[in-house]
Amino acid sequence: MTVITEQSAELLRRQDPQLADILDGERLRQATTLQLSAAENFTSAAVLAALGSPLANKYAEGYPGARHHGGCEYADLAERAAVERATALFGAEHANVQAHSGSSAVLAAYAALLRPGDTVLAMGLPYGGHLTHGSPANFSGRWFDFVGYGVDPATGLIDYGQVQRLAREHRPKAIVCGSICYPRHPEYSAFREIADEVGAFLIADAAHPIGLVAGGAAPSPVPYADVVCATTHKVLRGPRGGMLLCGAEFAERVDRAVFPFTQGGAQMHTIAAKAVAFGEAAGTGFTTYAHRVVANARSLAEALGEHGLAITTGGTDTHLLSADPAPLGLDGPAARARLAAAGIVLDTCALPYGEQRGVRLGTAAVTTQGMGEAEMVRIAALCAAALRGEAARTRSEVNELASAFPPYGA
């Protein structure tokens, strides 16, 4: 922990002990439990420092060189740095780093390319599509006519023949490729060919794999998609936020869709933290990290399968995996509750063609802590013990393992 962080914590303790206790509790929770949520990670101390910087005070509506507020000279420098680092990191012609979240980025992509009522083809929610891919509870399902594609019931893999048939039948204005729990790499070239055949835009929702893309551990959607939406947390290890990548021909449309259409002032402290994360991801150490994340996920999937869980698609190529605990007599919510009682934190998820929900696990955070494939085998055994109802004994072992790999050092 840096000196400034310690000073800030002490200041908060004196001024607002209630909130200090809450934050201390969260720090302890993260340090003594296993974070296996596929959407979470530990940022670097440098990213945290940027988030707590004086840029948190700055209002900077607009874009560098064209702000609606004065005093933005350093805000402009921070945003330009973030944009330059993002375009270099991902090989994109243009980047917008102002999106407040992944969902905000998707909303902006739709706003840039679509009009209300347009037809959109995306992965159906029962197969791993995100809320922004057509949920009736979300703006996407209310404003657009979504058609859902699925996966092969035998393999769990995307059925590209079905995607093509649906595209030919419905002639969508846009096709979305991306999922919150699909453990394999999408074939972006196949999606591009289908989109070109029917005259559709291709939007890649790369919220989950974008960090692997940065580290060279996953194929990039940038050469194929008209617009790429992503988050800056998860494997990328940046602050919670979103971004969009696109070619020069869509740059102005994307920027205007973010501001002024869907958002107001940019969160400059978060943008500075994004710049830090992009810089870190450009280093050779991040390449090693990204490949270790995938290796750990594969080891965890294999070990969980040996303990009786049914692993979707038989494994993973990414940082995440999904599993059906039904062979152990549990559904997803029950399994999550037992694991939570043992100090193992993860999510539930949809299962292809399943009536019950499964569980989704990710290895980004534990890899950041320094754990390797041997620890993944141990984690799988701890999960199995917890699912058998041995929460009390397992909780002690989980605390021991987590404490041996503190996220921010001893």
Q: Are 171 and 119 in contact (CB under 8 A)?
A: yes
Please, which pLDDT band fits residue 2 given cuts at 50, 70 and 90?
very low
Dihedral angle sign, alpha carbons of residues 375, 32, 333, 294: negative
Catalytic residue (one of 32, 59, 160, 287): 59
Catalytic residue (one of 132, 231, 232, 262): 231
pLDDT value at residue 9: 80
Please, which pLDDT band fits residue 5 given cuts at 50, 70 and 90?
low
Catalytic status, residue 59: yes
What share of the chain has pLDDT > 70, as a percent? 98
Quick: pLDDT tens for 279-303.
999 999 999 999 999 999 999 999 9
**Which candidate, 233, 181, 173, 177, places its Cα nearest to that of 206?**
177
What CATH fold (topology level) applies to the domain 284-404?
A: Aspartate Aminotransferase, domain 1 (3.90.1150)
List the chain domain ranges. 54-281, 284-404
Distance CA 357, CA 338 (A): 15
Quick: pLDDT tens for 156-215.
999 999 999 999 999 999 999 999 999 999 999 999 999 999 999 999 999 999 999 999
Quick: pLDDT tens for 127-149.
999 999 999 999 999 999 999 99
Catalytic residue (one of 63, 79, 192, 205): 205
Catalytic residue (one of 13, 27, 240, 253): 240
Quick: pLDDT tens for 223-282.
999 999 999 999 999 999 999 999 999 999 999 999 999 999 999 999 999 999 999 999
Give me the amino acid identity at 64.
P
Q: Are 387 and 339 in contact (CB under 8 A)?
A: yes
Is pLDDT above 80 for 39?
Answer: yes
pLDDT value at residue 90: 98
In the predicted model, what is the mean pLDDT of residues 381-396?
95
43, two tokens: 């940022």
pLDDT value at residue 7: 74
Catalytic residue (one of 61, 145, 373, 390): 61
Q: Which CATH architecture has domain 54-281?
A: 3-Layer(aba) Sandwich (3.40)
Catalytic status, residue 240: yes
Catalytic status, residue 33: no
Catalytic status, residue 26: no
The per-residue pLDDT of the chain, averaged, comes to 96
Give every strand in the sheet of 227-231, ordered side by side. 94-96, 242-246, 227-231, 201-205, 174-177, 119-123, 145-149
Is pLDDT above 70 for 50?
Answer: yes
